[in-house]
Amino acid sequence: MNWRGLRFRIAFGLAGVLAVLFAILGGGLYLSRSRVLLGDTDVALKGRADWIEGIARGPAEAGDFSSFQEEMKEHTDLGREGRVVQILSESGRVLFRSENLAGASLPFTQTELAGLRPCQWAIRTVSLAGEGRLRLITQNGREKEGEGAAYFVQVAMPLDQVEANLRRLLRTLAGAIPLGAFLIGAGGWFLVGRTLKPVGDIVRSARLIRVDDLKRRLEIPKTGDEIEELSRILNSMLGELELNFERMRRFIADAAHEIRTPLGILLGETDVALQADRQSEEYRSILESNRKEVARLAGLVERLLFLSHMDAGQWRWEMRPVSLRPLLSDLAEKAGLLANDKDLRVILEADQEAVIRGDEMRLRQLLLNLVDNAVKHSRPGGRIILSLSRRDGQAVLGVEDEGAGIRPEDLPRIFDRFYRADKARERSRGGYGLGLSISQAIAQAHRGRIEVRSKVGEGSLFALWLPLP
């Protein structure tokens, strides 16, 4: 795992997301601050306009503004910004213009003036050469329609203070946002690094694990979090892998061993036959023996192929409804034939019918394995009981014998591949030690299981449980 990449991506992503968030918040702050500052300016501007309007009423009625500049100076303690004043007649003629305007005019339009009813005012921002941006109020000085003097007062206030204020805020934000994002990114980098350290350790110890040495395990960090859980899961996965690997290795070794024995016999007998001229009777007997070994090899290869297909999950099952009663009675007949030599009695106990979904041919193979084993291990004169019943929503098929039984220490291993309780004897009887493992695999493919009960000297009962639909 490229944890450095992960670390960088998390820290960088965090910083990026926060930078965007800060920028949005900063933008909001800037907007609201500029609105507040402009609002304050407007309130002050309106106060001044009212005040100028008051002292201008007299001159406006008299139509004489000659001494208004002095009057304003006398009455006002307003600073420079309060004295940018222009007074207009109703028709828009300039009646008075304060000195500090130095001949320049505060902007207005006839439509603007016409739109202002008595006592109404309008505020906007204007740019004036030499003065920069100004906030300008234009207010109608008339108190009532058709009464008193008609004049408009215009007062302007430079916005330089407000703008300087906002510039300062912008500078602060422009410095603080990247710095904040950087610090958070650095913090994230550090924290992610610390959090991912155990992952780095896992990666290092995982590198040491090889297919030929699956005994190694990851060190489990005592972090009490997902990483600890992950390493535990990986370790149990390794355990599982080791077990399966070992099982597979043993299976291949056993299979090779099983193939070697008949091949050795074939080779040996052929060599003996070739050493001298022989009677045709002798050739026939050697060929018959060779045929037996070839047949054994063919049977073994067929079973191995079946198992390997099943292991790979590639076996094509032909699932159809299967009636178990006719299947079992058919097997009972076959068992009868097999049992003849040993003078065995085959008993069928199947009163009820049970229909399941399954692969009839494979189920027949499974049961035939069990019957074949029962016959092989029975004592002469004994009974073989084939039964069918329904229990707990399942069909139970029993194959019981009164034979030698299975020793308790062999019992857990009889389903292992190539396991035979008595290797030499079973082999001479034609067994491969694969019958029960194949049977078990078929049962599992039908979502069923095989249970065994056995007592040495008394016999064994193999029960196949299959779920009913």
Footprint of ligand ADP (CB under 6 A): 369, 373-374, 377, 401, 403-404, 406, 414, 419-421, 426, 431-437, 460
Phi-psi region of 313 (alpha: psi -120 to 50; beta: other; left: phi over 0): left
| Beta carbon nearer to ligand ADP, 46 or 342 | 342
| 96, HSE (Cβ side, Cα atoms, 13 Å) | 28
- Least spacing, CB of residue 206 vs ligand ADP, in Å: 38
Q: Cα separation of 41 and 140, whole Å?
A: 19
Q: Cα separation of 127 and 133, whole Å?
A: 4
- Least spacing, CB of residue 307 vs ligand ADP, in Å: 12
| Beta carbon nearer to ligand ADP, 354 or 374 | 374
Q: Would you give the distance in Å from CA 275 to the centre of its chain? A: 70
| Beta carbon nearer to ligand ADP, 390 or 425 | 425
- Least spacing, CB of residue 336 vs ligand ADP, in Å: 17
Q: Cα separation of 3 and 464, whole Å?
A: 51
* Residue with the CB atom nearest ligand ADP in the bound state: 431
Q: Cα separation of 439 and 395, whole Å?
A: 16
Residue 33 CA: distances (Å) to CA of 29, 30, 38, 43, 428: 6, 5, 8, 15, 100
Structural contact between residues 155 and 41, judged by C-beta atoms closer than 8 angstroms: no
Give, rounded to a whole angstrom, the gap between the first and last alpha carbons of the chain: 46
Instruction: Name the one residue in this structure whose structure tokens are 């028709």.
Output: 91
Q: Which of 70, 52, 79 is nearest to 139 (CA)?
A: 52
| Beta carbon nearer to ligand ADP, 52 or 396 | 396
Parallel/antiparallel/unpaired status of strands 121-128 and 345-349:
unpaired
- Least spacing, CB of residue 437 vs ligand ADP, in Å: 6
- Least spacing, CB of residue 457 vs ligand ADP, in Å: 11
| Beta carbon nearer to ligand ADP, 270 or 444 | 444
Structural contact between residues 60 and 87, judged by C-beta atoms closer than 8 angstroms: yes
- Least spacing, CB of residue 308 vs ligand ADP, in Å: 17
| Beta carbon nearer to ligand ADP, 179 or 298 | 298
| Beta carbon nearer to ligand ADP, 173 or 366 | 366
- Least spacing, CB of residue 277 vs ligand ADP, in Å: 39
Please state at what angle helix 435-445 crosses helix 280-311, rounded to 10 degrees: 30
- Least spacing, CB of residue 371 vs ligand ADP, in Å: 9
Q: Cα separation of 117 and 141, whole Å?
A: 9
| Beta carbon nearer to ligand ADP, 162 or 363 | 363
